[in-house]
Structure 1
Amino acid sequence: MRDPRLLAKPPVCRLGCLVLVRNPCGDVLLVDPDYMDGLILPGGAARPNEPPHEAAARHLLATTGIARRLSHVLAVDFTPADRYLERLNLVFDGGTVDTDRLTIPPQHRSGLLGAHFVPEKQLPAVMAPAQAARAAEALTNRAIPLLLHGQRA
């Protein structure tokens, strides 16, 4: 039985869907958005009712030209509300790619200044502290499968 009170005013929480991609040397792919300081993992917000693995794959393809089927999560990061709404960030395992496969769209379409593979040890120098901590945690974790209604994504 559905309780209409549960659907009357659902909680508001943004879902960030990020991807950790490495090159054969183990460097991490980061994008350089024009709307913030520092580099970040590629990805973005899910649309309403969009499965997170599909949102992450959509953003990865749109910003880097890399097509991936994403099914495993490396890290989950909850960020409390500050100047934005609270958000839950999922970091997906994007595997390894060759650097010649990157296709960065023009800044006026993507909002990106570029993309770079960065050695793991340099992440704290080029990312905001919370972003670098999220990436570092994802690098050390073993991937777990994403489930949608109890089935693997």
Structure 2
Amino acid sequence: VVESVDDMQKAVSRIHERFEQAALVERFIEGREFTVGIVGNEVLPIMEIDFSSLPDHLETFYSYRVKQFHGDETNYICPAKISRREEKVVSEFSMRVFQVLDLKDYCRIDLKIDDEGNIYFLEVNSLPLLVPDYSDIVKMAETRGWSYEDLIKRIVASAIRRYGLGE
């Protein structure tokens, strides 16, 4: 994240020099950050990732550095404190992304919602980690009342159904 055109030009130059390829420049989206887990055709409880407890010098988005080194200082709110209407819209939006991208069995979709209620798709993780007590989708499944074993069985059952192998 850069704060000025000059900083952007320097960052683009670093990317050109280091990777010898074009740089992707996007507008930073202010807003609350959410992640949505989908297993089979079921949307799990939506999780908000709250950065308000992080040290001031850190970025306020779910970067690799924040997740890997400051996960204990990050607040994971599941289910997210959003209205039923927002929950419905986010769930339907996420399921639509899942279908349009032709994803299978399970995934995690990251998005932001700005102060005006606009939803911005950030990225999809088509094979999110399934590490107990760490992975976001595992936390969402636990909020649904599923054990780790339940989550794994549901992912496998989805694949079995998809291949028409019965259960």
Task: Give the TM interval when normalised to the shorter protein.
Answer: under 0.3
TM-score with structure 2 setting the length? 0.26
With a CA cutoff of 8 Å and minimum separation of 6, indicate the structure with the bigger relative contact order: 1
Give the TM-score, by structure 1 length: 0.28
Which structure shows the bigger proportion of residues in strand conformation?
1
Q: Which has the higher helix share?
A: 2
Structure with max Cα Rg: 2
